[in-house]
Chains A and B, each alone.
Chain A
Amino acid sequence: MLQRIERGATWIGAILMPVLAVVVLYNVLARALFSRAPSWPFEVSIFIFGILALLAGGQVLRDQGHVAVDILPRRAGPRLRWVLHIISMVVIIIVCVFVVYDGSLVALESTRVRERSIFQTTFNPEIWWFRWMIPIGAAIILLEALRQLFAARRIDGVPDFDDEEIEL
């Protein structure tokens, strides 16, 4: 179930990627060739960027894609590595709890006033829904971290570093 949510959220961004490129290209052509710049691409590009960046965070955590200075965990024995993994997950959980909580408050207030874009474009879209991407993205990471913490109740639940052999 969680895996589906993570994959689904990431795919939303993946599908939006080429859309972003086309939006940008369309804007350039309309402005440079016809001097008829549409007013919406500026904010639409920002929306796509924000959505894809925030929603994929959970999948990245599952795939161990968040960059870490992992010198110590790699050299550690299984026991220490287990401890370090648990510390990691707890830190991530604490961070995400705050981000989900504060992010929801901000998004709620934004929704109340039906906040619009700060960029003062003629498009001037409502952006309150965009504010919700923060708590949603953090919530997905939170769930993934909880899952990994739960899996690590046994010491062999700690994910391995699945590398190719290292040649120096």
Chain B
Amino acid sequence: GGGVLDQEAAEGEEVTWRLATHQVPGTSRYESTLPLFAEEVSKATDGKFTIELYGGGTLFPISETYDSVSRGTVDAAAIFTGYWSSKDPVFNLVSLPGDPLTGPEEHFQRAEALDPIFGEVYAKSGIHHLGAFDYAPSEIFMSNRKIESLEDFKGMNIRATGVAGQFYDTLGASSVSIAGPELYSAMQLGTVDGAEFNDYLVNAEMGLNEVTDFVIEPALHTGPTSDKDLIINQEAWDALPESYQQAVIDARDKAREASSTAYAKDNEDAVQQWVDEGAEIIELPAAEVEEARQLAYEWLGGYADENEYTERYVTGYIQVLRDLGYDAEADAIESAKG
């Protein structure tokens, strides 16, 4: 503390927060929620509470966001929780292999049920976790080889990370690590044959529709997820007057809403951009999808053993599946868990 830009606020006083995100200004995933969030907070506090937005990498490298929130270099961040599998394996489960959920309602129901487990882990680093910030449609699988069955994945070089990488390895593919900015050239030149990456809209913004021949539906390894969770430095949170805290929560809900309505629609509309660039969209047969999901559930059942939190998370997820009527899927994970 002790800097000239540091401050504490009482009710009705002015306060400014720095909020970092991994998304980059100009892209849909930034523009659709973050400016809205800042605006709503400001409106609800008569302009007293300002949120300054810092796009990916402008303040510090994205990988340093967790520590920066923990230390208070920034007050808050809206960022993908999956990155923090570097800190605890449970964060890997922000996207779930074989997930049958669809649409924002089901996603947020799961988030409300399971986010408290993430919250406990964040709390150990002095971070207050406000749960899902927004909704992200399923990732898509881009391929330059025609895929009509699981058999066709064999021998492919696939750019995939985390759980997805392990999943495609079990299908007989070879998961490859390629730096994000090099993915375009890698798809164009055939360094990789396929990639599992963001949704239609984001990938089209990155020009990936220019270098993709096939999109394989549905995404085999994961369903809808949160593109960002809202995490806040605990001291900064505690220093806020109650009405300001409420303003943050309400603004988060507005961001959730915007991402599950306007953004989700834009993403559906973006499919046309892929067709226009000549991509063929292939629907995998149901039997193949089923088989892939069984493989994913086995992986998930095993991953529950990583630590106390992953065990609780997977158990909680099974319950969510039952609540939503996905009993067969719940049974499969239950038996894989043993």
Contact = CB atoms under 8 A, between A and B. Distances in A.
Nearest to A127: B86
A94 interface: no
Q: Which of B83, B86, B169, B176 has the most chain A CB within a 10 Å cutoff?
A: B86
Interface residues of B, number: 22
Given A121-B177, A122-B169, A115 B86 contact: yes
A117 B86 contact: yes
Contacts of A62: none
B310 interface: no
B67 interface: yes
Interface residues of A, number: 21
Contact of B87 (A31, A35, A113, A122): A113
A31 B174 CA distance: 8
A42 B178 CA distance: 8
A115 B87 contact: yes
A119 B157 contact: no
Given A106-B67, A113-B87, A115-B86, A122 B175 contact: yes
Nearest to A43: B177
B88 A39 contact: no
Contact of B157 (A31, A42, A117): A31
A81 interface: no
A121 B163 CA distance: 9
A39 B88 CA distance: 20
A113 B165 contact: no
B162 interface: yes
A109 interface: yes
Q: Which of A32, A39, A119, A122 has the most chain B CB within a 10 Å cutoff?
A: A122
Nearest to A42: B177
Contacts of A122: 165-166, 169, 175
21 contacts: A31-B174, A31-B191, A35-B155, A35-B156, A39-B165, A39-B175, A39-B177, A109-B67, A113-B87, A113-B88, A115-B86, A116-B87, A118-B63, A118-B86, A120-B82, A120-B85, A120-B92, A121-B165, A122-B165, A122-B166, A127-B86
